[in-house]
Structure 1
Amino acid sequence: MSNKPRIAVIIGSTRPTRFADKPAQWMLAQAQARGDIEVELIDLRDHPLPFFDEAASNMWMPSENPEAVRWQETIARFDGFIFVVAEYNHSITGVLKNALDQAYKEWNRKPFTAIGYGGTGAARAVEHLRMIGIELQMVSTHAAVHIGGGDFMTVHPMGSNQPMESIEAHLKASAGTALDELVWWAKATMAAKAVEA
């Protein structure tokens, strides 16, 4: 059994016309190029979660909805997360917030980072995600990847629709730092949990 941290890249948008796949695939490739983690892509489209309607958080009682339980089981397999973040009205998407709300203990004491995109590189949405993560007892990396301004319009279909490689030079440093921090925190939290076991 591998002791490498298991990391999920979570696509946080489900719109039919979403842009998320492009940065998700790029970030997945950056993570896969490393030798110190195992990484898997998780798409919220594959998890048709209802709006949170349980009697309470699964921290206090088991969830009843089978999709919620399946989502919790999926999240529980991972040691850390990379969120692909679109910015909607200065925050994260509704589907991502709902997915975060559908689990609790499965997020606890695990690190995360983000790749965000939009006019401001999803800076406000990533900050909001960090606040939510704190409440879920998660650990945020300091670094994140932000695709904004001209870079965003270079790769977006409504702009030049160029491949991610055309702006890669602008993103590589922040992606490397974010992944380094994510791995450090994943190893630290895994070690701490092993001592408690």
Structure 2
Amino acid sequence: MTSSLRIAVISGSTRPGRRATQVAEWTRARAAAHLGDRAEVEVLDLAEIGLPLLDEPMPAAIGAYRNDHTRRWARLIDSYDGFVFVTPEYNHSMPAALKNAIDFLFSEWSDKAAGFVSYGTNGGTRAVEHLRLTLAEVKVACVRSQVALGLFTDFVIPEMAEPGTFAPADHHEGILTRMLGELVDWAAALRTLRVSQ
């Protein structure tokens, strides 16, 4: 491999006052420091991307995108080798905006790798369970290790209507490092597969 991998940290909530942006920036900063020149790491904030509810007339697997916003999203996702999905848990699952963003595309996700940083009252683990199933269908290889952040142990939230301050416990660093190692190994292997096709 002659060039660095490109990894997108996808901030998966669009709710005003969301905590995802703090967690995504922490993930990006730690990933950039840990991976060095092995990977370029950027944040994609779904609130800034601004996708509507899925409005393509053809199934994504066909790839006949008709809308400019879909084509822009497709070019963006196609440019990455792997992803770290930052997701809260909403009602036992991932946010609707995150599922919607995945559903817009198909081949642009395929044969790439993903890791997860989740948060919620139960660490966001159930959101990631659903994400793993969804991503398997679009041919994304999901790594085993997952950072699961507790809403009441890794955030300082004086008022629940406010996002509070992200303050992760020290032990999450080691888990994040392990997940990133798995992610770049898989992303590198899968890039070789994509190039050979």
TM-score relative to the length of structure 2: 0.91
Q: CA shift at 1:47, angstroms?
A: 1.6
Output the CA distance in 1 between the equivalents of 2:151 and 2:46: 26
Q: How many residues align?
A: 193
Match of 1:92, SS state, is coil
Output the CA distance in 2 between the equivalents of 1:55 and 1:69: 14
Q: Deviations over 1:56-78 (max 9, x none)?
A: 22321411111111111110110
- Which residue in the other structure is 1:118 paired with? 120
> Are residues 29 and 106 of structure 1, via their aligned partners in 2, closer, same or farther at CA, if it must alter by over 3 Å?
same
- Which residue in the other structure is 1:133 paired with? 135
Q: Deviations over 1:1-43 (max 9, x none)?
A: 9611100001101111101111111101111102221111111
Check if 1:183 corresponds to 2:176: no
Q: In structure 2, which of residues 72, 75, 81 is the aligned counterpart of residue 73 of structure 1?
A: 75
> Are residues 157 and 171 of structure 1, via their aligned partners in 2, closer, same or farther at CA, if it must alter by over 3 Å?
farther
Q: In structure 2, which of residues 80, 88, 91 is the aligned counterpart of residue 89 of structure 1?
A: 91
Output the CA distance in 2 between the equivalents of 1:61 and 1:190: 20
Percent identity between the two aligned chains: 38
Point out where structure 2 has 5 or more consecutive residues left out of the alignment. Answer: none
Q: CA shift at 1:51, angstroms?
A: 1.1
Greater strand content: 2
Quick one: which amino acid aligns to residue 177 of structure 1?
A: R
RMSD, matched Cα: 1.9
- Which residue in the other structure is 2:41 paired with? 39
Q: Deviations over 1:121-145 (max 9, x none)?
A: 1000011100001001100010011
Q: After alignment, is 1-10 or 22-31 more displaced?
A: 1-10
Point out where structure 1 has 5 or more consecutive residues left out of the alignment. Answer: none
Q: CA shift at 1:52, angstroms?
A: 1.1
Output the CA distance in 1 between the equivalents of 2:10 and 2:94: 13
Contact conserved, 1:19 with 1:156, CA < 8 A, in 2?
Answer: no
Output the CA distance in 2 between the equivalents of 1:26 and 1:59: 33
> Are residues 128 and 157 of structure 1, via their aligned partners in 2, closer, same or farther at CA, if it must alter by over 3 Å?
farther
Q: CA shift at 1:162, angstroms?
A: 4.6
Match of 1:28, SS state, is helix
Q: CA shift at 1:150, angstroms?
A: 3.8
- Which residue in the other structure is 1:10 paired with? 10
Quick one: which amino acid aligns to residue 143 of structure 1?
A: S
Match of 1:128, SS state, is helix
Contact conserved, 2:111 with 2:193, CA < 8 A, in 1?
Answer: no
- Which residue in the other structure is 1:27 paired with? 27
Q: Deviations over 1:79-119 (max 9, x none)?
A: 00011101111100000000000111100010001110110
- Which residue in the other structure is 1:158 paired with? 159
Q: CA shift at 1:148, angstroms?
A: 1.3
Output the CA distance in 1 between the equivalents of 2:169 and 2:95: 25
Output the CA distance in 2 between the equivalents of 1:44 and 1:163: 19
Output the CA distance in 2 between the equivalents of 1:41 and 1:13: 13
Contact conserved, 1:79 with 1:111, CA < 8 A, in 2?
Answer: yes
